[in-house]
Structure 1
């Protein structure tokens, strides 16, 4: 049995992993899908203090208080920023890192550095609410921005997507334990549509090591192709 901690991306919450989590649990695995502060069911906690570092602390706390070890730590999209920071802070608790169509940052980079044009494009459509600049604001059919096309999935997302504090996207990632961090095996599950935009050397290295899976679907692949994602995560656990 493996232990998975699934970290969501911007504007989402742990809810987005429900289809994948059901499949992993049915196979006997332990699954945690925490929601980061200020989004999802924790959107009422949005404040000017919510940033990348706080989100890293959110997940480090889950590992500590649930006493989780040898975790398969998965991050989707912005969640790639978070899991990299978590593995830096709690390397002794992380057995594998999985980047699920995610940002692949290095020390000193923000999400703006990693995916600038896409992220910058969201800012003009945001708004300040109670002193917090929020982007990725929900709207009918907003799931289409994440590559979701099924009407039922879009309706499900309409009820759950929330705005995301902009500060999270512009704060640089600070790494202090890089030797231990980069010793953790890394795996990549990517969408065909985003593969060409990724670091070619990183992808080639992952492919050569048998640590790259490609799924031909939209960016929210945990919603659009949960079976394919769960199968890939099963394979990661079996390595």
Structure 2
């Protein structure tokens, strides 16, 4: 399906990653007539020289707010992937007038006062232990999905950066409650053991105000299934305001 008008997608990327990991999506977005703005958070990717123990979720929310401000972005489709769902939710709370809709891609969907560790209890102690075994504040990357092609695996592993633990410990504070704009959730159905995102798939299937989509891909479709991901994104922006409880 072709969107009725060009969209500006603003990415909030996942943990250990960066805007660079969405490289395959740029030509697909351009071909569809859309724009993908893919910044990298402080302390990761090309900004890894800024890494430090004080970086937290609030730092990354401010990173994206500053992109909106200095790039003068409006009518934004805010796209949060994985950890980026934490960031996107905070951004939407503070820049509501700039955002037309939100898309969560296999992402955390926090409520007010929740941290990522609150939403991923099984991962809390292992990640804290991994940080403690080093310098106390860095969490090494989780492995990429097992179906990642070898060339992509090498490309990812050469670029992924340890995450500051405070990013996962910070409790999100929302001044305005649940985001008021249209929201869609894309659930990747090639589920790994201990799937943490199933809770959000169930929630968005049953909670008013959501569109729910399922994608036959593993957790990083921007790398392993970019064409399939682009098709779903096009469907969403072509019909941004459907009835609630829509499962596709």
Alpha-carbon distance in 2 for matches of 1:196, 1:7: 20
* Cα RMSD, aligned residues only: 2.0
* Pairs aligned (count): 228
Q: Does 2:104 align with 1:134? A: no
TM-score normalised by structure 1 residue count: 0.88
The 5 A counterparts of 1:195-210 are 196-198=198-200, 200-205=202-207
SS at match of 2:185: strand
What per-residue deviation string (whole Å, max 9, x for no partner) do you get for residues 105-164 of structure 1?
0000000011221344333233545xx6111348xxx32xx4443111101112111111
The 5 A counterparts of 1:1-239 are 1-126=6-131, 128-129=134-135, 133-137=137-141, 142-143=143-144, 146-178=145-177, 182-192=179-189, 193=191, 194=195, 196-198=198-200, 200-205=202-207, 211-239=211-239
CA change 1:119–1:229 in 2 (3 A) is farther
Alpha-carbon distance in 2 for matches of 1:78, 1:119: 14
Q: Is the 8 A contact 2:185 2:201 kept in 1?
A: no
What per-residue deviation string (whole Å, max 9, x for no partner) do you get for residues 58-97 of structure 1?
0011011111111000011110000000000100001111
Alpha-carbon distance in 2 for matches of 1:32, 1:119: 31
Alpha-carbon distance in 1 for matches of 2:163, 2:203: 31
Q: Is the 8 A contact 2:108 2:200 kept in 1?
A: no
For structure 2, the residue ranges without an aligned partner over 5 or more in a row are 1-5, 240-248
TM-score normalised by structure 2 residue count: 0.85
Alpha-carbon distance in 2 for matches of 1:157, 1:112: 24
- Give the deviation of 1:224 after TM superposition: 1.0
Alpha-carbon distance in 1 for matches of 2:225, 2:125: 27
Alpha-carbon distance in 2 for matches of 1:238, 1:186: 14
Alpha-carbon distance in 2 for matches of 1:99, 1:149: 21
Q: Is the 8 A contact 1:148 1:220 kept in 2?
A: no
CA change 1:215–1:199 in 2 (3 A) is closer
Alpha-carbon distance in 2 for matches of 1:147, 1:197: 22
CA change 1:201–1:168 in 2 (3 A) is closer
Q: Stretches of 4+ moved more than 6 A in 1?
A: none
